[in-house]
Structure 1
Amino acid sequence: MNDDELINQEADEERFEDDEIVSTKPGYFRKLVALLIIVAFMGFSVPNLPYLLSDKLNFLDQNRALKEDDIVQQCKPAVVSIETVVTEGLLNTEVKRGTGFNISPTGRIITNQHIVANASMITIRFGDGRMYYSKQYKVIPDVDIAIIQIEGNALPTIALNMKDTVQSGATVTIIGNPLGFEKISQRGEVGRFYNIKNGLPQIFDINIPINPGNSGSPVIDNQAKVVGIIFASTNLEVNGKSELRALAIPVQVLIQQKPGSPGFQL
């Protein structure tokens, strides 16, 4: 709305005549007073509500700070938004949203299995507006990873660091789609490593708070290569305080093969 429209609207609002005010139903005023009381009560009861809401969106501040970062600029085009539709019965439909990243010019998308599981349709959207649809995906046995093959051409890609295992204390960047926002960049340090199953690489935590939609985000090292895939979050006690941290699967699971399983060829 421009300034002229705003002035005109304000002028229109001032044109109420006395008979219009008198003819307003009493019930309207009772509802208005009740609404004001509720709003005032919420303000006194939850004095930190604005703080809590802004604290939840702190990732937007870091995203702005990283907007011109070389690693972010190089990797962001290969990060995609994923939306899946899961239908169970005639009236039960669930829509799930997450993140993925592309590793092939013709389209090979890495994401989490829990995003695409049982999907009747998968929609992949690149930042330049290109959209692809799929119903097929492969999974990595025993880990929360899925690979979606699409038929694209000259798509932006991100490289994988299969050679070096990420170390505690390393600075990493994640790019994902938390809470409906797209291509949000966050940066933090790798923390501890955890065993999940014999024969599989250890998962690791990162001191980055993540939100719904971050699942499938790439974890990127200082060489602009992927070293892990976000799949969950956890609360850790750090210096006596509970701290929300991202959990990531090492990228090496993409070439993990087990006897009797087909594995996945990159």
Structure 2
Amino acid sequence: MKAKHILLVVLISAVTGVGSAYLYGKYNNRSVSYSQSQVPVNYAGLFDSGAGAPGPVDFESAAGSAVPAVVHIKTKTNPTQTNMQRRRSPFSDLFGDDFFDDFFGGRGNNVPQMASGSGVFISGDGYIVTNNHVIDGADEITVTLSNKKQYKAKLVATDANTDLAVIKIEGTGFPYLLYGNSDEVKVGQWVLAVGYPLTLETTVTAGIVSAKYRYLGVNQRKAKPGANTVESFIQTDAAVNQGNSGGALINTGGQLIGINAAIASPTGAYAGYSYAIPVNIVKKVVDDLIKYGTVQRAYLGIRPAANQDNGTDSQIKEGDGVEIGEILPKSAAEEAGLKKGDKIVKLDNKMVSTWTELTGTVASYRPGQKMNVTYIRNGKEGTATLTLKNSAGNTDVVTTSSLDRLGAEFATLDAKKAKEYGIEGGVVINSITDGLIAEQTTLKKGFIIIRAGGKTIKSVDDFKRAIESAGNSIIVEGIYPGYEGVYQYAINDLNRNEP
């Protein structure tokens, strides 16, 4: 009898244990399945067409296409054309110096200064884009291709506000990189950095896009007060070092998506992050520099609203759009009916969350182009179509060409403005950077040139001809709107050698 009781207890225990395990497994699995029964929106498309299990990424084809199109740039600056105390560029982290300078710990002022960087062919006839800080102040520029062939290059034009420059070598049939679309670049996608770091041969490194629309302030720190600098960097973790500056950032399809420009580093060597100028800005600036000699910069004509909280990282209100803090008079924004307090959320149907995104997008447009601006006003969405203008408030083409050495941006004065000021015409100075005007005169932005070298000036072409025929010096005469009298300024050394 005792044995039967023991057997019954064992049987009941076994049934209970198996049943408990079954029920636990059944309902526990149901609980797990219930908590993630649907694919969240951030995974949308990941598992479509086998995208959830991709094969290994192949960098070989992209690297093979890019390496021949990326060049090594070496510069020489003569001691007679350098300052006794050369300023350190905020881009020095990428500005690879000559090996002997590194070895001996510095140069004297009585020897030429040597430096190096990288560049990218953007056409088969020898046009190369690089960073402005790579060739800034150089008297000689030498380009070495991946096949070791060397060429002397000439400077076409530069734009310090975006830190871009175009140089050219003579010849045809050069390999070049196709432009990609930086607006389509996604955080997390693979990218390659191609350049000549640390005076090495062509070097390719891989990483991912870690952020977009980064603002560092490096261009602003180098620029003159009030300069309209543009920064909207692509941030990557591809290894970039001294000498990579001006080199290519490409996608796995071999397309150019950025020009490497800076690194974040406490030591001057790569420490995890690098920054590239988006190609949509690059191609617009390059086209302008080749065609006009200067950038045709477009403006909405707004200033962003400021934060009231001094403890924030940025002084600008942003996050889900750009709130307008001020509408500039006679600007594109004013003419389109935008108002202070409006929050811009889209430009041509492209989402805009921050001021850096907005300025980066506008930088890829020219004055005269139309743009649809989507904004929120009093909780309701509206759309305005506007025509972008330049800093002078019109859509005229701004040119510099042979006027580059003066260090200013010139534009033909609008005929209506000329009539308003009581003059036949003239040339307005929209901005002043480094050059003869800043070095020798107290001339200010907004000055309108009406005579130069004794000749009447009604257009930029008139002024250009006056400069070219002036010899080594010229007297410039003009007015400041709102002030009485004609002001005169003497500009000398017009024929001095420039890079």
User: What's the TM-score bracket when you normalise by the shorter of the two chains?
Assistant: 0.5 to 0.7
CA distance in structure 2 between the partners assigned to 1:263 and 1:206 by the alignment: 35
Q: Give runs of aligned pairs for residues 84-233 of structure 1, distance below 5 A.
A: 84-89=75-80, 91-162=110-181, 164-193=183-212, 194-195=214-215, 200=230, 202-233=232-263
TM-fit CA distance, 1:80: 0.6
Answer 1 or 2: which has greater strand percent. Answer: 1
Determine which structure has more spread, i.e. the larger CA radius of gyration: 2
Match of 2:273 in 1: 245
Match of 2:65 in 1: 74
Q: Which runs of 5+ in 1 are unaligned?
A: 1-65, 237-241
Matched residues, number: 194
CA distance in structure 1 between the partners assigned to 2:178 and 2:193 by the alignment: 14
CA distance in structure 1 between the partners assigned to 2:182 and 2:116 by the alignment: 31
Q: Are residues 262 and 187 of structure 1, via their aligned partners in 2, closer, same or farther at CA, if it must alter by over 3 Å?
A: farther
Amino acid at match of 2:275: L
2:261/2:277 contact within 8 Å kept: yes
CA distance in structure 2 between the partners assigned to 1:124 and 1:228 by the alignment: 20
- 1:91-149 superposed Cα distances (whole Å, 9 cap, x missing partner): 23110111111011110111111110111100011112322112423113511111102
- Identify which range, 146-155 or 76-85, moves more after superposition: 146-155
Question: Pairwise CA RMSD of aligned residues?
Answer: 2.8
- 1:225-264 superposed Cα distances (whole Å, 9 cap, x missing partner): 100011110049xxxxx94211111112220431264499
2:191/2:208 contact within 8 Å kept: yes
2:245/2:261 contact within 8 Å kept: yes
Identity of aligned residues (%): 27
Q: Are residues 200 and 262 of structure 1, via their aligned partners in 2, closer, same or farther at CA, if it must alter by over 3 Å?
A: farther
Give the alignment's TM-score, normalised by structure 1: 0.65
Residue 160 of structure 1 aligns to a residue whose secondary structure is coil
2:192/2:205 contact within 8 Å kept: yes
Match of 2:423 in 1: none
Amino acid at match of 1:245: Y
Residue 92 of structure 1 aligns to a residue whose secondary structure is coil
Q: Are residues 163 and 192 of structure 1, via their aligned partners in 2, closer, same or farther at CA, if it must alter by over 3 Å?
A: closer
TM-fit CA distance, 1:210: 1.8
1:110/1:147 contact within 8 Å kept: yes
1:85/1:94 contact within 8 Å kept: yes
Residue 161 of structure 1 aligns to a residue whose secondary structure is coil
1:140/1:253 contact within 8 Å kept: no
- 1:49-97 superposed Cα distances (whole Å, 9 cap, x missing partner): xxxxxxxxxxxxxxxxx99811111111111110000112282311011
Amino acid at match of 1:210: V
2:192/2:238 contact within 8 Å kept: no
1:203/1:250 contact within 8 Å kept: yes
- 1:131-175 superposed Cα distances (whole Å, 9 cap, x missing partner): 211242311351111110221111111111147442221210011
Q: Which runs of 5+ in 2 are unaligned?
A: 1-56, 81-108, 221-227, 286-295, 298-389, 392-397, 402-499
Q: Are residues 67 and 91 of structure 1, via their aligned partners in 2, closer, same or farther at CA, if it must alter by over 3 Å?
A: farther
CA distance in structure 2 between the partners assigned to 1:172 and 1:104 by the alignment: 22
CA distance in structure 1 between the partners assigned to 2:273 and 2:168 by the alignment: 30
Match of 1:44 in 2: none
Match of 2:422 in 1: none
The structure showing larger relative contact order (alpha-carbon pairs under 8 Å, at least 6 residues apart) is 1
Q: Are residues 168 and 262 of structure 1, via their aligned partners in 2, closer, same or farther at CA, if it must alter by over 3 Å?
A: farther
Amino acid at match of 1:85: K
- Identify which range, 169-178 or 135-144, moves more after superposition: 135-144
